[in-house]
Amino acid sequence: MKELILVTGGTGYIGSHTAVELINEGYEVVIVDNLANSTVDSLDGIEKITGVRPAFEQFDLCDKPNVEAFFRKYSRLKAIIHFAAYKAVGESVDQPLKYYRNNLVSLMNLLECMEQFKVPLMVFSSSCTVYGQPKELPVTENAPILPAESPYGNTKQICEEILRDSGCSMPALQVISLRYFNPIGAHPSALIGELPQGIPDNLVPFVTQTAAGLRGELKIFGDDYPTPDGSAVRDYINVTDLAKAHVTAIRRLLDQKNETGLEFFNLGTGHGTSVLEVVKTFEKVTGVPVHYKVVGRRAGDIVAVWADTTKANQVLGWKAGTSLEDTLLSAWNWEKKLRGIQ
Ligand code: UFG
């Protein structure tokens, strides 16, 4: 019988790509999502890609009775990948309590049920935001955790602390926390991808929407950073590569290969790319011009961050393999599909 994995937030951007990779690797997937920032259409995309429609339960993980009922219903559950969370940095500044309540309560409800129903394995969706602006680049998992720049970032730090403390009181608990750098792109089939609500905050959706004519021009936030071309540098990681790391992490937990009850891995490419390089590479691979203008720096932005991926490469046996070119092309193919562009 196939091993059953819960993917919370599984209709969302990274969750849907991970559901695909899990199914492709022979797992059975059940998705829980409240559709706060996604639609059920993702299930159609997952089904078209894999030939399998995962089970889907629509409820809010902050609602404890629903979480308990879920664990009772799916008593075969082997492990959990927990994506479901709010993730908009700016919104978290305006509505911090919304972020603290949602991101912390959902994790606590899951952990209580994991103990009660004896499902002690979790892969947690964390972020390189926990490092702030690291003093040394590339950043390793041992870099100090700096005070968070936003309530969103703080929820990721607090969630990691909750996981650490819970491990002390629940020795059976085994968690792998994956710290993502900047996930971009879409599935090569263009059947699933990112669906930002309203005006995108993130660079690549803004680039693709500008290229598609939905936005007049891209604003590049700053060209006076101490970087080779003056624009800020990030580690852009292909979303399918990222999804595959989750499958590797789940296997590691199921096979009891993890060395401690709470492990951290950086998920990036190991290369920094500037904002201007992203725009130029997009134009080169798609042949579509992106109108942009340089404006002032965005509050809260760091100068540069990219991952040291040695630990993920050596211990997880995972490496990001897709080029920036192919990844940006996948993002454009997804945007074209959404907008009906030939
Ligand atoms: N940028 C622009 N114009 C835009 C959007 C972004 O120039 O319209 C720039 C930003 O200033 C930044 C870079 O593109 O230099 C990347 O910005 P994103 O918003 O795409 O990503 P961030 O690195 O700011 O944020 C991401 C995740 C967060 C996470 C953070 C951790 O979206 O969830 O990484 O560093 F907290």
Q: Is the CB of 87 under 6 A from ligand 1?
A: yes
Per-residue pLDDT, 21: 99
| Burial state string for 77-101 with b = 16 or more CB within 10 A and e = fewer than 16 | bbbbbbbbbbbbbebbeeeeeebbe
Q: Model confidence over 256-281: pLDDT tens digits?
A: 999 999 999 999 999 999 999 999 99
Tell me the whole-structure pTM to 2 decimals: 0.98
In the predicted structure, residue 300 carries a pLDDT above the cut 90 = no
Q: Which residues are catalytic?
A: 152
Please give the backbone phi and psi of residue 337, each rounded to the nearest 5 degrees, phi first: -65, -45
List the residue whose alpha carbon is closest to atom 24 of ligand 1: 301
Question: Which residues share a beta bridge with 263?
Answer: 176
pLDDT confidence bin for 120, thresholds 50/70/90: very high
Q: How far apart are CA 144 and CA 335, in angstroms?
A: 37
The region of weakest confidence among 132-136, 189-193, 257-261 is 132-136
Q: Which residue has tokens 């309590």?
A: 97
List the residue whose alpha carbon is closest to atom 2 of ligand 1: 220
From the alpha carbon of 218, which atom of ligand 1 is closest? 8
pLDDT confidence bin for 149, thresholds 50/70/90: confident
